[in-house]
Amino acid sequence: MAAADLLQFVLSGLSVGGIYALVAVGFVTIHAVTGVINFAQGELAMSGALAAAVLAAAGLPLPFAVAAAVVVGAAVGLVVDRATVWPALRRRRMGAVADVVLILLTIGASIALRGLALAIFGSEPYALGPFTPGAPIVLAGAVVPRQTLWVLGLSAATMAALALFFGRTQVGAALRACAMNRDAAKLAGISPARMSALAFGLAGAVAGLAGAAIAPISFATYDMGLMLGLKGFVSAVVGGLASPPGAVVGALALGVLESLAAGLVSSGYKDAIAFLVLIAVLLVRPEGFFPGGRLRRV
C-alpha cells in the first residue's frame, strides 16, 4: 500500500466528510435553538441543489444560481418551521407533544418535500458545474478536486460564521438563551416563534448553500436528501449535537473512516466499519467529541 494511496484515502474521506459537515452544521443549529432533530435537513439541501442546477442550466450565471440556492433553502426551511414544527413546539411546553412526535413531523415534511421535488424535477439526476473549473489539485501523489476545497472551505466558513453569530451578536445570544430556557427568554422579550423561524431559516440557508456546493461533485437528485440527512444526523450526534465545530469534526471523522475502510478493508462493509468505530467511541465517551452545556433530564 503506497503512501500516496493512503493519502488519497484520507483526502477522499475529507472530501466526503466536508459534504456531511455542511449538512450537519444545519442540524446542530436547529437543535441548539429549538431542541428539534430536523429530519428534513437533507431535503433542505436537496432544494438548494436542484434549484441551483435547474437555474444554471437555464442560463443563470453560477454565482446567482448559488445565491438562489441559499434563498430557496432558507425559504423551504421557513415553510417547514411554520407549517410543521412551530405549531407543535408551541404546545410542547404544555407537555402535549412528545419529542419523538416533533421528529416525526419533520419526517412528514421530508416525505412531502421529496414528493414535490419528484413532481417538479422528475427522478433523473441534474449536473451543476464546479464553482471554479480546472484540473484537480495534486498533493504528494494524491488528488483533490477543486470543488472539494470549496466544500471544505465553506464548511469552515459557515462554522466560523455561526460561532460568531451565536457568540457575538445580540440575536445569536438571544437564540442561545431560547435554547436554555424558553420562559426566561420570553420574559426578556424574545419571541420563541421568531427564534424558531430564525433557526430554521438560517439552517435552511446553510443547507441550500450545501446543496449547491455538493451538486457539482455528486449531482442533484430528488432523493439525495435521504443519505445526506442520515449522515448529517450521525455526524451531528457524534459531534455532541451542541456546537457547529463538533458537527464538522464528527462529519470529517465519518467521511475519513468510510474512506479508509473502503480502501484498506472492504468496500462492501465500509459504512458498517465506520459506524462500529463511531459507536465504540460513543460508548467510551458518551458526550461525543465536543460536549456542550446540555441539561440532562432527571
Contacts to other proteins from residues 38-77, by CB under 8 A: none
Nearest to other proteins of 140, 187 (CB atom): 140
Q: What residues numbered 133-152 form the site for other proteins, per CB under 8 A?
A: 136, 143, 145
> Which is it for the CA torsion 163, 165, 169, 175, positive or negative?
negative
For residues 206-226, b (16+ Cβ closer than 10 Å) or e, as one string? bbbbbbbbbbbbbebbbebbb
Residue 122 touching other proteins (CB under 8 A): yes
Residue 108 touching other proteins (CB under 8 A): yes
> Contacting other proteins (CB under 8 A), which of 60, 75, 79, 112?
112
Q: What residues numbered 257-286 form the site for other proteins, per CB under 8 A?
A: 259-260, 262-263, 266-272, 275-276, 278-279, 282-283, 286
Residue 96 touching other proteins (CB under 8 A): yes
> Contacting other proteins (CB under 8 A), which of 71, 226, 291, 292?
226
Smallest distance, Å, CB 141 to other proteins?
A: 10
Nearest to other proteins of 31, 182 (CB atom): 31
Specify burial of residue 45 (Cβ count, 10 A radius: 0-12, 13-18, 19+): buried
Contact 121, 50 (CB under 8 A): yes
Residue 188 touching other proteins (CB under 8 A): no
> Contacting other proteins (CB under 8 A), which of 110, 155, 158, 196?
110
For residue 66, the one-letter residue type is: V
